[in-house]
Structure 1
Amino acid sequence: MTQVHVLEVSKNLNQTRRELRARRKALSVFQQRHHEKAASQALLRSAWLQRPKRIAVFLDQDGELATKTLIQALWQRHHQVYLPIIQPKTGHLSFGVYQPDTRLEPNRFGISEPVVQRASDLVKAQQLDLIIMPLVGFDLEGRRLGMGGGFYDKTLEFKLKQPKRKPRLIGWAHACQQVNGLTPQPWDVPLNALVTEAKLHLF
């Protein structure tokens, strides 16, 4: 297994984000595909996915660990798959069903979201079993460094007081995105697990 150099967190988190994004974008197409397959297999073998569940995923971009293989496997295993939808007025996330024929449109960040006709079709985080979460960096204490928008932390704030409440939160990243020295903030919602091409980490 390739030795991964763990990045030390800079006092300037934006600098850390830039370095980590550059790391994952520098991966070759072969490495990206290998990581996607290995991570998907690790998660699919876990006890969480042995029965059909409601699972939110995300569509990768900017060198993120790809989710296409995972999503297709979830469909084949009859899980219900959802994608996040940013609510403009609140900055919270709701979730819309994602199927092979779902129509998608980009939001203001250029990220594709399901087109939902009725508010009643939206699902809240509390109604999901698992959320597979994007991230820029992670540590081995279950802390996650996001892009800085706070969308997931706002949405999942209830888990700070009720950590055992659904959904379980699973980070999804390349091993090269590991860092040392992440300082927890009061609003940070910790991960239950994290999957890379190298390992499934439980917290």
Structure 2
Amino acid sequence: MNPLTPASDPKSLRKWCREQRRSLSHSQQIQHAKQATSRLLKSAWLQRPKKIAVFLSQDGELGTNPLIQALWHSQHRVYLPVLKTLRGRPMAFAEYLPKSKMFKNHLKMLEPHIKQQHHLHGKQLDLIIVPLTCFDEQGHRIGMGGGFYDRAFAFKRQQHKAMMSRPKLVGWAHECQKVSFISSASWDVPLDALISEQQIYHFKTH
């Protein structure tokens, strides 16, 4: 089966895209992360200090460590997603500092150890760097299947005008994770843009 055909189901696409990014060499991973970071830092989005949510890359994802270091150096405030948060929130964000104490959540992912009352809602951030396994040129993405970002940013889909306002949802991926077509569901929240090592994609309002 050609994984780039519209007939491909999300599970098959997810598997194929993860294999593509895992096949990259260590030197390619480092180079791609540097190139993507440079593109973001030069973008109009970061020309003044912002509140930016990132994620800690793993499993062959486009590296975020160079980005995090650069954001700290440029006086931006960096946040990471947290799953155990105030009731009614599917996911929130905690500030991440070089000295932050960390712990593993139930998915074995590291989170800053910060009191829940200090967590931020997605609406309070300027830019969200979004993880994914696959993306297409229409701004659709396939995540890992948990649906955390789609639920946390459902307000972007429910309020059409919010698609052009804060926060910007920017995918972060290797170019090899691009596929020709992703069928979107009614609950999917499309990306505003995506950055790879090769370019910045700007998507039309959905």
Once the two structures are TM-superposed, the CA of residue 13 in structure 1 deviates from its matched residue by 1.6
Q: Could you say which residue in structure 1 is the equivalent of 2:200?
A: 200
Q: Which runs of 4+ in 1 moved over 4 A?
A: 88-91
Q: Could you say which residue in structure 1 is the equivalent of 2:187?
A: 187
Task: Please state if 1:74 is matched with 2:68.
Answer: no
Q: Could you say which residue in structure 2 is the equivalent of 1:108?
A: 106
User: CA separation in 2, counterparts of 1:91 and 1:180?
Assistant: 33
User: CA separation in 1, counterparts of 2:198 and 2:46?
Assistant: 19
Per-residue CA deviations over 1:49-74 (Å, capped at 9, x if unaligned) read 11000000000000000000010000
Task: Please state if 1:12 is matched with 2:9.
Answer: yes
Paired amino acid for 2:53? A
Q: Any stretches of 5+ residues in structure 1 without a counterpart?
A: none
Paired amino acid for 2:54? V
CA contact (8 A) 2:54 2:129 kept: yes
Paired amino acid for 1:109? L
> Secondary structure of the equivalent of 2:78?
strand
**Normalization by structure 1: what TM-score?**
0.93
User: CA separation in 2, counterparts of 1:9 and 1:108?
Assistant: 34
Q: Could you say which residue in structure 2 is the equivalent of 1:170?
A: 170
Q: Any stretches of 5+ residues in structure 2 without a counterpart?
A: none
> Secondary structure of the equivalent of 1:163?
helix
Measured on the aligned residues, the alpha-carbon RMSD in Å equals 1.6
Task: Please state if 1:158 is matched with 2:155.
Answer: yes
Task: Please state if 1:62 is matched with 2:59.
Answer: yes
Once the two structures are TM-superposed, the CA of residue 147 in structure 1 deviates from its matched residue by 0.9
Cα 1:9–1:90 shift into 2, 3 Å: farther
Once the two structures are TM-superposed, the CA of residue 12 in structure 1 deviates from its matched residue by 3.0
Paired amino acid for 1:44? L
